[in-house]
Amino acid sequence: MSLGIISTISQRCKRCYSCIRECPARAILVFNGQAVVMEDRCISCGHCVKVCSQNAKKILGDTDLVLSQIIPHGNSIAMLAPSFPASFPEDYSKLATALKKIGFNYVTEAAFGADLVSKIYSDYFERNDDTTIISSPCPAVYNLIEKYHEEVVPNLAKVVSPMIAMGRYLKKNFGDQYKIVFIGPCIAKKSEYVDDEVKGAIDAVLTFKELKEVFKELQIDLSQLEDSELDPPHAYMGKTYPLTGGLLKTSSISGDILEQETIVVEGKSRVAEIIDEIKSGNIKSKFVDILFCEGCISGPGIDSDLNYYSKREKVINYVHDKINSFDKRVWQSNLYNSRDLDLTRNFSSKTQRRPMPEEEEIKSILARTNKFKKTDELNCGSCGYTSCRDYAVHIAKGLAEDDMCLPYLIEKTERSYKELKDTQEQLHSAEKLASIGQLAAGVAHEINNPLASIMLYASMLKRKMEKLDPASQSSEDLKLIIEEANRCKNIVANLLNFARQGKLKIANIDISELVGSIIKTMKLNPQFADILFSTNLQTDETIIQGDNDQLKQVFINLIVNACEALEFSYEKFVTVNLKKEDHENLIIEVIDSGAGIPDENLNKIFTPFFTTKKMGKGTGLGLAISYGIIKMHKGDIKVKSTQGKGTNFIIKLPLKLQTSNMILN
């Protein structure tokens, strides 16, 4: 994308989207979070420059062209916009001296160009009866109309701006060898002087801000310079052009507030409103004078600390000061001698409007940013657009991105943070499991041999005691020793199973049948006779790849735990749901109506040796082993629980496994 009059300095852009809010042409494309100005859509009004607090907007400058080529050329003229007293309120009388010190041969005022075109506007007003004429000195206005309101292009007055009029006057009277530099408050003038319709009248454009930078670079202190007058031709009422209604004043068109034939409009929001009204035929006035800024004294390149009223006062004071010493006969002679000067131009449609997207596409985009119904559309304006719908339309048009929506970003960030936190907890748990597994393997190996000896000799002693005295208490004591030793043996077996780094024996498993067989066994257990078991099959695709024995161990652990959690429950339900989350995974939920798990224990339940069961009822390894088996199957296991209502274990298993490093049956 080529750089236009205005571009973005990406390193400074902070995603505030102020420029989008202010851009009347919707010429800001957000790409990878950066607000990029699109040259073809931009009308060069400069509002994005004014509102950017990070100074992230760059203006295409002609400073190098002026200093290195035009001035050294030897024949150069500086043309000052009539708003210069507002930009240099204390030193405007020294500007001509300063510009000639830089190297300009002549310093004139563009206001005489306003005087030149005023007669044409006056004639337009007098001749027009049935069409609303729109003034055309402001390039931001006619750029907007040509690109986005082609219906009213015919309404534009076919008159050049004062800048172009004065440029043509100077070229005619001084010769084409002279290079003319316009200096003013308007960024849009940079797009105007290269327009094919008027090209050649002006050779470069500087803003007042750029001029001040030149003075600073060349160490020119205006306060130390002598006062001097601008070079002729001198202007009359054209000096009022930068003020609201200045065009009407110069053209002797009534601007009375009760005048129905004329309307004066200024400011971005009002410009859009009046153009829409003209398009719809609601405006019957003969002439509408439109300025994109609140007068040229509020242009984006004015570079003044004064407020609107102080700037206005400075220009008015300058007008009064110069008119008192003005030779009107010379002025009239200059106008008469320029009667054959061509001050006309044409305008044409250069439409940049993009087609309105389909309603389904808009709804789809809104859904992507979690806006499914009207109440979800907050219309907070943080994205820079007027509403969530307007934002979705511009996404569809390729002018915006999903991540510009602040509420959506906050939700996305919170979700990402939660996922990161869960991942960290899982990683922490996995690290603990790995270290405990290594320790468990060593401990189990060392305990197994002496434990076997204890069981062997305890059994031998028991048989011996039973022969000597069948009713002996010692025989009962030995029986308890053997039972406890057996329990230790089971713990050791579980430890070895937990620590085992063996490969999975992969086969096709029907999880529905596997769970059904486990529940069938549970129903035969008298301890669980009062429990109501149910299986909800919500998908026909229940065959996955996995290790049958290990997955059976997982579901036995979960279902037994669910049953044991119902010991003190009035309603005793164990439900297993099988469903598909997507085309790649099967979801199995094991739900009970038990007492639930306290919040403080939820993060501990997969930790080895953690148990809330009574002494002798559990080892605390069942869920830890289940966690490891599920992870070996590239799946996931989570738990949701509400105290007093029950617990839900959610297992996600892939339908197909990558079979590298696994044993296939």
- 460 domain-assigned: yes
Give the span between the Cα atoms of 418 and 412, in whole angstroms.
10
Residues 300 and 313 in one domain: yes
Residues 494 and 506 in one domain: no
Residues 470 and 516 in one domain: no
Domain extent for 592: 502-665
pLDDT of 183 reads 96
- The amino acid occupying position 603 is N
Question: What's the N-to-C CA distance of the chain in angstroms?
Answer: 58
What torsion, rounded to 10 degrees, do the Cα atoms 17, 22, 28, 31 define? Answer: 0
What torsion, rounded to 10 degrees, do the Cα atoms 507, 511, 516, 521 define? Answer: 50
pTM of the model: 0.64
Residues 185 and 308 in one domain: yes
- 188 domain-assigned: yes
Residues 371 and 325 in one domain: no
The tokens for 470 are 């069948």
- 16 domain-assigned: no
- 2 domain-assigned: no
- 30 domain-assigned: no
Integer CA distances (angstroms), 509 to 496, 521, 599, in order: 25, 18, 34
Q: Is 378 exposed, middle or buried (0-12, 13-18, 19+ CB in 10 A)?
A: middle
Give the span between the Cα atoms of 66 and 49, in whole angstroms.
23
Residues 480 and 548 in one domain: no
Look up the CATH number of the domain holding residue 496: 1.10.287
Integer CA distances (angstroms), 81 to 107, 234, 242, 243, 380, in order: 11, 13, 8, 12, 40
- 13 domain-assigned: no
The tokens for 586 are 């099967």
Report the SS3 class of residue 516. Answer: helix
Residues 471 and 517 in one domain: no
Closest alpha carbon to 120 in 278, 253, 304, 269: 253
Greatest alpha-carbon span in the chain: 148
- Picking from 303, 337, 371, the residue at the C-terminal end of a domain is 337
Residues 320 and 382 in one domain: no
Residues 156 and 254 in one domain: yes
Domain count, the chain: 4
Give the span between the Cα atoms of 491 and 488, in whole angstroms.
5
Give the span between the Cα atoms of 73 and 80, in whole angstroms.
20
Give the span between the Cα atoms of 15 and 36, in whole angstroms.
11
pLDDT of 661 reads 47
> Which residue is associated with the tokens 């292009």?
153
Buried b (16+ CB within 10 A) or exposed e, 217-241: eeebebeebeeeebbebbbbbbbbb
The H-or-E segment that residue 51 falls in is helix 47-51
Residues 399 and 409 in one domain: no
Residues 239 and 313 in one domain: yes
Look up the CATH number of the domain holding residue 573: 3.30.565.10
- 609 domain-assigned: yes
Closest alpha carbon to 237 in 183, 318, 155: 318
Give the span between the Cα atoms of 199 and 233, in whole angstroms.
22
Closest alpha carbon to 160 in 132, 138, 144, 184: 138
- 358 domain-assigned: yes
Give the span between the Cα atoms of 559 and 575, in whole angstroms.
9
The tokens for 583 are 């085309």
Residues 535 and 567 in one domain: yes
> Which residue is associated with the tokens 């919500």?
538
Give the span between the Cα atoms of 465 and 475, in whole angstroms.
6
Positions of E strands within 230-281: 262-266
Residues of the chain with pLDDT under 50: 1-2, 501-502, 661
Report whether 411 contacts 370 (CB < 8 A): yes
Closest alpha carbon to 71 in 211, 178, 218, 191: 178
If you ran DSSP here, which 8-state letter would residue 542 be given?
Answer: -
Report whether 162 contacts 140 (CB < 8 A): no
The tokens for 350 are 């250069």
